[in-house]
Chain A
Amino acid sequence: MEHILSILIFFPAVAALIGFMVSKESIRAYAIAVTAIEFMLSMILWYMFDAQNAGMQFMQMIELIPSYGINYLVAVDGISLFLVILTTFMTMISLIGLTEKRDLKNLVISVLFLEMTMVAVFLCLDAIVFYLFWELSLVPMLYIIGAWGGKLRIYASIKFFLYTFTGSLVMLVGMLYLGFVYYQTTGNWSFSILDWNMLLLPFDMQMWLFVAFFLGFAIKVPMVPFHTWLPYAHGQAPTIGSVILAAVLLKMGTYGFVRFSLPLFPDASAFFTIPIAILALIAIVYTAMVAYAQEDMKQVIAYSSVSHMGVIILGIFALNVEGIGGAIFLMISHGIVSGALFMLVGVIYDRRHTKMIAEFGGLASVMPRYATIFGIMLMASVGLPLTIGFVGEFLSLLGFFKVSPIITLIAGLTIILGAVYMLVLYKRSFFGPITNEENKKLTDAKGRELVALVPLVALVIILGIYPKPILDPVNKSVTQLVEVMKIKAIKPVTKTKLISANSIGEVK
């Protein structure tokens, strides 16, 4: 199993190609089987993963364009391990809960291709190959949104595509420049992040490169003010598209910050901490308010996603172990929770063909099981202690508290806003008398839906109570990441900033 990472990457792609030959009737079962195997593979990876080792593991390299320093280079560490597992898990769950009937074969094959690109993004350490999969993931998503989406689906899919494509092209220029810098310093071309980590970059170069990478990642996250594609994409995407988008695709952006921006440009990262924190804060406050005003259930969750991604950004740019580790944990929990919420909206949309909150009311009495699951997920989303949402949110804010108590305070207070819109959503659609005749005949969640949702509920509670198995390996790798940043920082200001952010019990 030395090549387990490559197997993880290419198994879904091969399965997708074979999928063209599978009959229409059995394609769903086939897809679930494939993604289940993929999930098992990722569990094997976790089993084989040495949690005591903070560095890169299972590294594998194949030369692609050696004269230009581009190699297929994959490896996994504590940071990427759980994102890979999240990807394989959520893809499997979203396929189990899949209700789409039209053109099922093309949809399933697109999802499998998408899975390949997502897993690869988290595993590739060569910048160009990373970029390759990063861009490639747009194609199946374009198709999924554009072909199975709502009324404005074509507009939404093109907007999604162009927005992210443009941002990442600028990032490509940054990558090419870094490759060139490496060439100038060492005489060899290389696009491997591990090699790049050896470079000490002057401050102004760091600033420019940081901005170039920032554009690529910030649009993907999405950070305010680059978030405008997301509500459209979510609003128009079919359920499975929204689930994967929220659960995994957005994490690619935050992962990029952790993997590229922080270790490569420590001084610039420290320099931009406060501006980025303010952007994140705007995201948290503003989108929470926008979410409150939405009439559409799915839009509420879409905006709440943007809001939560703001907390993740805050955690990452705390630049300490608690913050970054918490942010990574929050990525995982947000993946599970928002994925589940989108799936829940999908369940009700499937029955009523509407997502407007005003259409519902009193659902709790006709659909008790559904209401319970929705309630638990909602609590996790709000960040109630003992749910998965609490751990990451708490750690992220704790991390940032060391950097700026005021911003943390505002962010912490605005999380209340999150509780407000979520609870209002819950109240309006689940409590009270049944106002709409059509809702009386609704059937409760059952069978396949429960198979998809119950594991998520279990995870939300188990990991909420006992997050250690994930937090430990994550923190190990993050500690090392912070060490790298300390070593690479060329300005004394950054060094002191990093040291103070990472000191124990000391508040600035």
Chain B
Amino acid sequence: MIPPIDIDFVSLNFVTIVPMLIAIVGALTILCIDLFAKNLDKSFYIILAVLFLVVDLGSLYGYNGAVRGFFDLMLVDGISVLAQFIILIGTAMFMLLSLNKLRFHENNYAEYYALYLFMVAGFQFMVSSDSLILIFVGLETASMALYTMIAMHNKDRALEAAIKYFTMGALATAFFAFGAMIFYALTGSVELGVISQVLVESNFDNYPVVLLGVAFMLGAIGFKLSLVPFHTWVADVYEGSSASLAGFISVVPKIAAFIVALRFFEIFIAADDKVVEGILYAIVVLTMTIPNIIALLQTDIKRMLAFSSISHAGFVMAAIILGTTQSTNAIFLYWSLFLVTNLGGFAMLWLNEDKSKNFCSDHHLAKYAGMIKTSPIAATMMGLFMLSLAGIPPFALFWGKMYLIGSAVSAGFIVLALIMVLNSAIAAYYYLKPIVYMFLKEPVENSEVQYLSNASTPLKTIVGICAVVTIISTMMVEPLLEIISYYVQISGY
């Protein structure tokens, strides 16, 4: 006879899943409202969803120190809280981009916003656990929602993008499951803490199998982080999705994946495993360099930003190899500054999105020629974000880059620092391209380019906020670092 399960309610520690619950309840609320009230405007749903995110953010406030719950499945530690901050703020900002002027297919469905919230809940689960199973569940919840959202965009290439992302994602899922299985077989646990302990105690017994597991996990995480050689989907998926969603994909899912990577590879970095370190090192260098070079060839700004965001991911992945407290700080500093800048950059593309077919692609460089003459403020804003992405001081991302390169130098990885620096120089070239087109070239004559045709007051406000933050970021680095190092330290990284 099966013994009755006796669960002490307090031991579940419900507090740990309150943030996710809020997002899920929010999504369900939106779906229910849609069932009964048919003709509500999209802005209602957007604001409602953002409100739920704000409440979610509020519920996060006050976590300090690692909290475990649900039979130790949940682990809300400092880095989890930090990542959730970035995820929630990022999602809210990107969601507000849907308050655009033109009518796009997907924005008119309440489900779109519900999916957003489900996805957020998925990411939150992903970052708040060190159990491979729960990470897997979070990952799948988020990914499924994201596939659907891409497919809802009704441009020609959206379906292609969604299917591509889905099939590749399915493969990554399989990799993840397989990797988890191997580690379970090796150590008898799916909890990263236990896995690490057992592996270290057994002195990495059965090393080839461990490596096989690492390879599978690398495939899975690498796909989510778009590390080379698992990056091939990125450009097409970005091109197929709307600019606002593409921007979202470039920032928010990745921070969730970074946390997983940080927790997982920490096992090997802390044990100073030369082979895994070597593999990661090679991947990081390739991820920084190859997409950077491909980005040089792009004529479409969105594709260019897609490749450049792969390179940025490679940059941050480097921090994981370094494995010092400073480098862990750098991940969050870099990513929060990248969030602001990239949000601004993609929002500018989104503002200029139109339904015409003047150019062979949505955001062809030629479309932006001579923009300083026709809409100077928009051109200046976009130039600002490009300069920031290129790492020109004093704009936001420079501080992220500086701190990250600084942490590489401090950890003794001078060569890596030089590779990062050289890549920044390459990146500067393609980030200059839009600037050259906007500021230095004459407008194309007789083309009916409409700038800002998708602009609405809320969108302009968001871009304005991003621009201000990008400019005054110098003042914000210290407080940000204070918060980040506090949370990173309490979670022991």
Chain A residues with CB under 8 Å of chain B are 63-68, 106, 128, 131-133, 135-136, 138-139, 142-143, 146-147, 153-154, 157-158, 161-162, 165-166, 169-170, 172-173, 176-177, 179-180, 183
Q: A138-B392, A162-B429 are in contact. Are A180 and B424 (CB under 8 A)?
A: no
When chains A and B are docked, how far (Å) is the Cα of A241 from the Cα of B436? 17
Chain B residues whose C-beta falls within 8 Å of the C-beta of A180 in the assembled complex = 406, 409-410
Known interface pairs A142-B435, A166-B422; 16 further A-B residue pairs with C-beta atoms within 8 A, sorted by A's residue number: A65-B477, A68-B406, A128-B402, A132-B394, A133-B393, A135-B393, A136-B393, A138-B392, A139-B392, A154-B440, A157-B440, A162-B425, A165-B428, A169-B421, A173-B418, A177-B414
Residues of A within 8 A of B482 (CB): 67
Q: A176 and B429: CB pair below 8 A?
A: no
Residue of B nearest to A158 (CB): B432
In the complex the two chains form, is B428's CB within 8 Å of A161's CB? yes
Residues of A near B421 (CB, < 8 A) are 169-170, 172-173
The 8 Å CB contact of B414, one of A138, A158, A173, is A173
Which residues of the partner chain A approach B320 to less than 8 Å between Cβ atoms? Answer: none
Proximity string of chain B (413-431) to chain A, C-beta cutoff 8 Å, 1 when within and 0 when not: 0100110011011001100
The answer on a CB contact under 8 Å between A67 and B478 is: yes
Q: Determine the residue in chain A with the shortest Cβ distance to B441.
A: A154
Residues of B within 8 A of A66 (CB): 478
Are A147's CB and B410's CB within 8 A? no
> Is the contact region of chain A dominated by helix, strand, or loop, or is it mixed?
helix
Contact A131 B403 (CB under 8 A): no
- Do the beta carbons of B406 and A67 come within 8 Å of each other? no
Q: Is B252 an interface residue (CB 8 A)?
A: no
The 3 closest A-B pairs by CB, nearest first: A132-B393, A166-B425, A146-B440
A-chain residues with CB within 8 Å of residue B475 when the two chains form the complex: 64
Report the bound CA distance from A362 to B432 in whole Å.
Answer: 44
Report the bound CA distance from A26 to B440 in whole Å: 24
Instruction: Report the bound CA distance from A63 to B393 in whole Å.
Output: 17
Residues of B contacting A142 with CB < 8 Å? 432, 435
Hey, which chain B residues are within 8 Å of A68, CB to CB? 403, 406, 477, 481
A65, B440: Cβ atoms closer than 8 Å: no
Residues in B neighbouring A176, C-beta threshold 8 A:
402, 405-406, 409-410, 417
B100 contacts A by Cβ under 8 Å? no
With known contacts A146-B436, A180-B406, A67–B481 Cβ distance under 8 A: yes
* B175 at interface, CB cutoff 8 A: no
Q: A65-B477, A65-B481, A173-B414 are in contact. Are A131 and B439 (CB under 8 A)?
A: no
Most buried by B among A136, A176, A183: A176
**Alpha-carbon distance between A472 and B182 when the two chains are bound, in angstroms:** 76
Question: Does B474 interact with chain A (Cβ within 8 Å)?
Answer: yes
B335 to chain A, nearest CB (A): 17
Mask for B72-115, Cβ within 8 A of A = 1, else 0? 00000000000000000000000000000000000000000000
Asked if B128 is at the interface of the complex by the 8 Å CB criterion, the answer is no
Name the residue on B nearest A135 (C-beta): B393
Shortest distance between the CB of B65 and any CB in chain A (Å): 22
In the bound assembly, the distance between CA atoms of A142 and B390 in angstroms comes to 14
Contact B417 A173 (CB under 8 A): yes
Most chain B CB inside 10 Å of its own CB: which residue of A67, A136, A161, A172: A172
**A179-B428 in contact (CB<8A):** no
Instruction: Give chain B residues whose Cβ lies under 8 Å from the Cβ of A147.
Output: 439-440
- Chain A residues with CB below 8 A from B440, complex form: 143, 146-147, 153-154, 157
User: Which chain A residues border B394 with CB–CB below 8 Å?
Assistant: 132, 136
Separation of A66 and B481 alpha carbons in the complex (Å): 10
State how many residues of chain B have any CB contact under 8 Å with chain A: 35
Shortest B428–chain A CB gap in Å is 5
**What's the Cα separation between A173 and B372 when bound, in Å?**
34
Q: Report the minimum CB–CB distance from A457 to chain B (whole Å).
A: 35
A12 to B283, CA, bound (A): 46
Please, which residues of chain A bring their CB within 8 A of the CB of B402? Answer: 128, 172, 176
In the complex, what residue of chain B is closest to A143 when comparing beta carbons?
B439
Nearest-neighbour CB distance to chain B for A129, whole angstroms, equals 9
A170 to B418: give the CA distance in the assembly, Å.
7
> Are B478 and A173 closer than 8 Å at their CB atoms?
no
Please indicate the chain B residues that have their CB under 8 angstroms from the CB of A165 in the complex.
425, 428
**Per-position binary interface string of chain B over residues 449-474, scored 1 when its CB falls under 8 Å from any chain A CB and 0 otherwise:** 00000000000000000000000001
Q: How far is the CB of B74 from chain A (nearest CB, A)?
A: 31
| In the bound complex, CA of A185 to CA of B419 (Å) | 27
Quote the shortest CB–CB distance from A339 to chain B (angstroms): 25
Cβ A169 vs Cβ B425 within 8 A:
yes
Residues of A within 8 A of B428 (CB): 161-162, 165-166
A222 smallest CB distance to B (angstroms): 17
Residue pair A135, B392 in contact (C-beta under 8 Å): yes
Residue contacts A-B, CB under 8 angstroms, 9 given: A65-B474, A65-B477, A65-B478, A68-B477, A106-B372, A133-B393, A139-B392, A147-B440, A172-B421
Residues of A contacting B409 with CB < 8 Å?
A: 173, 176-177, 180
Interface: B161 (CB within 8 A): no
Task: For A179, list chain B residues within 8 Å (CB).
Answer: 406
Query: B129 at interface (Cβ–Cβ under 8 A)?
Result: no
A16 to B405, CA, bound (A): 33
Residues of A within 8 A of B436 (CB): 146, 154, 157-158
Tell me if B134 is interfacial: C-beta within 8 Å of chain A. no
Interface flag for B387 (CB, 8 Å) = yes
Q: Does B141 contact A (CB under 8 A)?
A: no
Chain B, Cβ-Cβ closest to A136: B393
Among residues of A, the one whose C-beta sits closest to the C-beta of B482 is: A67
Min CB distance, A115 to chain B, in Å?
17
Residue of A nearest to B393 (CB): A132
- In Å, the complex CA distance between A158 and B390 comes to 14
Given A67-B485, A132-B393, A162-B425, A146:B439 Cβ within 8 A: yes
Alpha-carbon distance A179/B435, docked complex (angstroms):
33
Contact with A along B224-256 (1 / 0, CB 8 A): 000000000000000000000000000000000
Interface centre among A63, A136, A142, A173 (most CB of B within 10 A): A173
Which chain A residue lies CB-closest to B373? A103
Q: Look across to chain A and name the residue whose beta carbon is closest to the beta carbon of B476.
A: A65
For A184, the closest partner residue in chain B by CB is: B410
Q: CB-CB < 8 A to B387: which residues of A? A: 139
How many Å from the CB of A122 to the closest CB on chain B?
A: 17
B477 contact set on A, CB distance < 8 A = 64-65, 68
Question: What CA separation (Å) do A176 and B408 show in the bound complex?
Answer: 10
- Which A residues are in CB contact (< 8 Å) with B422? 166, 169
When distances are taken between beta carbons in the complex, the residues of chain B under 8 Å from A65 are: 399, 474, 477-478, 481
Q: How far is the CB of B390 from the nearest CB of chain A, in Å? A: 8
Q: Is the CB of B429 within 8 A of A131?
A: no
Chain A residues contacting B441 (CB-CB under 8 Å) are 154
CA distance A153 to B442 in the complex (A): 13
Residues of B within 8 A of A170 (CB): 418, 421
Residue of B nearest to A153 (CB): B440
CB distance from A42 to the nearest CB of B (A): 23
Contact A64 B414 (CB under 8 A): no
In the complex, what residues of A have CB within 8 A of residue B439's CB?
Answer: 143, 146-147
B418 contacts A158, CB within 8 Å? no
| Bound-complex Cα distance A215 to B16 (A) | 52
Measured in the bound complex, the distance between the Cα atoms of B437 and A158 in whole Å is 12
Within 8 A of A (CB), among B367-417: 372, 387, 392-394, 398-399, 402-403, 405-406, 409-410, 414, 417
B328 vs chain A, min Cβ distance (A): 15
Residues of A within 8 A of B418 (CB): 170, 173
Whole-angstrom distance between the alpha carbons of A153 and B422 in the complex? 25
Q: In the bound complex, what is the Cα–Cα distance between A466 and B36 (angstroms)?
A: 91
Query: How far is it, in angstroms, between the C-alpha of A329 and the C-alpha of B118 when the chains are bound?
Result: 68
Question: Considering the chains assembled together, what is the distance between the CA atoms of A500 and B405 in angstroms?
Answer: 40
Max chain A Cβ within 10 angstroms of own Cβ: one of B436, B441, B485: B436
Residues of B within 8 A of A139 (CB): 387, 392
